[in-house]
Chains A and B, each alone.
Chain A
């Protein structure tokens, strides 16, 4: 067989890779160097004008990025704590273990947009059931009208929706742990707390890092929840990077500038997540 034939076999995969990954990125970079908007559609070349505008004259983009960072880190942290706790609970032999395992997975199986519409109704300040109930105690929090509570509402919805995913990964990790370290800890008379701190948690470190990174990648794209629940409001208090890019690109039709924001955001995320992986590995997998 001719040595070069192996390239022929690689070709289909290579074409798919170029088509779905390389081409869109290259096109986005090219688009980011153009002034494509509703009035001037087309790939003209304006140099780095869009990048200069983004870095020197658009605090809204950076505010949305820092807001996103806060929302993503907070929600993933809460999802990790709750997901791990629930997984730990049903890992043990408890009654109705199978029922709870399925129950905890339900939120993840629902459609995010539909669930967010339901949550929006739930949080509705004059017609929603939550404030209707709370009015018994004389309080009616402005869930979606106050900048701080609107963020809390988004966190609640995100945690409710995606803790299941964390639960699933952590449960899979717990079920795959070897029994010997636990037997050794039992022989040494370790308390349940010490068993968790010195055995379970360190053994779960690799899967924890994987789960946190997967969720951080997903959480950094928070869009549907914000879109449906608050539309980035009140004001711009819940606007995230994805929502900002959506507004610039598909509402205002500043395609060139939206591509600039997208590509910059991609680079920032790659750098940030690389650093986070290194830090998590160092912290969670230390001796």
Chain B
């Protein structure tokens, strides 16, 4: 028995040794993974090098460079070198990713083997995508449960996990934690300067730190950078501001609609309160902030222009990169909450503290059902998200690849790339706490998602521009949502929405 154990141990040592040797070899050959080398697995560099796809051509439609477009192109080049396949990458602006895939999908064609988009496309795209083969799903042991759920529909995974996104608060640690600033803020406002736990506190602090040079760089700074540009993901920012007021754990059964009646909830007092806050925010964003898209928001907060921001990880990772003027001066925390939350069952406010994480959709990618290269396509995606590539990608803000593996929620991963230990710890705790929350909101993933979100963007944009009051704007959105339900069919929407509601109500 002892001999058997000894042989087994020796075999393990030899196996590990051979893997390290591979890691060194591949790390030398591909500088992108120099820090980790190859990490063994089904889709590692070593495994891919054994495949021969010579004479096969893979076509990919992805986002513009850099966000997601740059890693797609980089991994395509690596994949070509390893397997001999030819990979043609097309870059498309975010707003056109949906239609660029949908037009050929509906025409029964597959000009692209792989299509990149967002996870909330799943309902419209799933009938045109090939399910992820079980062998690939089986090797995703490290992918977080919530992310697997987002990538799947009715237990079938259609989108290959390459990115995990959620909205959370980012703040300037050098200001919020600064005793001098805390004393000044207290003297001027009578309130404590701390990480805001409600949107009201967020607004008060952002207003106070708006329009003056509080970091001594000779330029005025501002309160908050937010995505407010219509048709540039602004609806996601609005949902983030709404969850605190409108996601009541005491009233399960739907955040966007009442699942039973399919009555849109978008103009209830919870959402109106959030929009009222957001209209106030126009006063504490940088000049032109009402036209900020995601890129502007990343650059504004990442460039040290504002005290707060809330959206995807990209702004935080960009702010933490060594070339950032505020590297290691930022903190992460849960989205602010509220002191009250709307109770749609009794039609009154519940006077209690409420906070709800918003799991915004992230980048998602699928393989066309009509593709003739499904085997190559899934290998490419598996390679894209392999351990070595993933660890290298998540440390580069502009890549847009954000944590979704259990491993990513460990502080060591981030301290290894130069983050201060306490910042790394608060970052991973923020992400992990969101995973643990039982009051989460998931993105709307129903037929006609784009119509619902576009109507919301139009209505909220009118309120931000002062064309309509918050209530009138959301009443307009409500009317439009009712019309969309009529066109698409309330039952069709309900069937799809029920899946999301189950996740929100912790039944899945």
Interfacial residues, chain A to chain B (CB-CB below 8 A): 35, 37-41, 57, 60, 124-126, 131, 140, 142-145, 147, 230-237, 247, 250-254
| A236-B288 CB under 8 A given contacts A39-B124, A39-B492, A231-B231 | no
Shortest CB-to-CB span from B94 to chain A, Å, is: 11
The stretch of B357-365, B369-377, B462-470 that contacts the partner chain? B462-470
A–B complex contacts, Cβ < 8 Å, 27 sampled: A37-B451, A38-B448, A38-B451, A39-B124, A39-B489, A40-B488, A124-B288, A125-B286, A126-B286, A126-B287, A131-B287, A140-B287, A142-B288, A145-B289, A147-B465, A231-B231, A231-B291, A233-B230, A234-B230, A235-B463, A236-B461, A237-B465, A247-B231, A251-B95, A252-B450, A252-B451, A253-B451
Q: Interface of chain B, helix or strand or loop or mixed?
A: helix
The reply to whether A231 and B232 form a contact with Cβ atoms under 8 Å apart is yes
Are B462 and A235 in contact (CB-based, < 8 A)? yes
Q: Contact flags (1/0) for B430-462 with A, using CB distance below 8 Å?
A: 000000000000000001101100100010011
Would you call B177 an interface residue if the criterion is a C-beta within 8 Å of the partner chain's C-beta atoms? no
Chain B residues 285 to 331 lying within 8 A of chain A, measured CB to CB, are: 286-291, 305
Inter-chain CA distance A231–B234, complex, in Å, is 12
Q: Which residues of A contact B286 (CB under 8 A)?
A: 125-126
Residues on the A chain within 8 Å of B214, using CB: none
CA separation between A142 and B282, bound complex, in Å?
A: 12
B446 and chain A: residue at smallest CB distance: A39
Known: A126-B305, A147-B465, A253-B102. A233 touches B454 (CB 8 A): no
B106 located at the interface, meaning its Cβ lies under 8 Å from any Cβ of chain A in the complex:
yes
Residues on B facing A (Cβ under 8 Å):
95-96, 98-99, 102, 106, 124, 229-232, 286-291, 305, 447-448, 450-451, 454, 458, 461-468, 483, 487-489, 492
Q: Contacts A37-B448, A126-B286, A251-B99 given; indicate if A235 touches B291 (C-beta within 8 A).
A: no
State whether A41 touches B106 (Cβ < 8 A). yes
Contacts of B231 in A (CB 8 A): 231-232, 247, 251
- How far, in Å, is A243 (CB) from chain B's closest CB? 10
Q: State whether A233 and B461 are in contact (beta carbons under 8 Å apart), knowing that A38-B124, A147-B467 are contacts in the complex.
A: yes
Task: Give the distance in Å from the alpha carbon of A266 to the alpha carbon of B117 in the complex.
Answer: 33
Nearest-CB distance from A187 to chain B (Å)? Answer: 59
| Chain A interface SS verdict (over half) | loop
Q: A237 to B447, alpha carbons, bound, how many Å?
A: 29
Q: Given the complex of chains A and B, what is the CA–CA distance between A247 and B291 in angstroms?
A: 18
Given A38-B124, A38-B451, 14 more A-B residue pairs with CB atoms under 8 Å apart are A125-B288, A126-B288, A140-B287, A142-B287, A145-B291, A147-B467, A231-B229, A232-B230, A235-B465, A250-B99, A251-B98, A251-B99, A253-B451, A254-B451
Known A126-B305, A250-B99; judge A230-B465 contact (CB<8 A): no
Tell me the minimal C-beta distance from A31 to chain B in angstroms.
12
CA distance A237 to B461 in the complex (A): 10
A145 and B289 alpha carbons, distance in the complex (Å):
8
A229: nearest residue on chain B (CB-CB)? B291
CA gap between A124 and B461 in the complex, in Å: 19
Please measure, in the bound complex, the distance between the C-alpha atom of A254 and the C-alpha atom of B451, giving whole angstroms.
8
Instruction: Report chain B residues within 8 Å CB of A37.
Output: 448, 451, 487-488
Which residues of B have CB within 8 Å of A250? 96, 99
User: What chain B residues lie within 8 Å of A237 (beta carbons)?
Assistant: 465, 467
Tell me the minimal C-beta distance from B485 to chain A in angstroms.
11
- The listed residue (A40, A126, A234, A254) touching B464 by CB distance below 8 A is A234
Q: Collect the chain B residues with CB atoms within 8 Å of residue A57's CB.
A: 483
**A residues in contact with B467, CB < 8 Å:** 147, 235-237
Return chain A residues, CB-CB under 8 Å to B291.
144-145, 230-231, 233-234
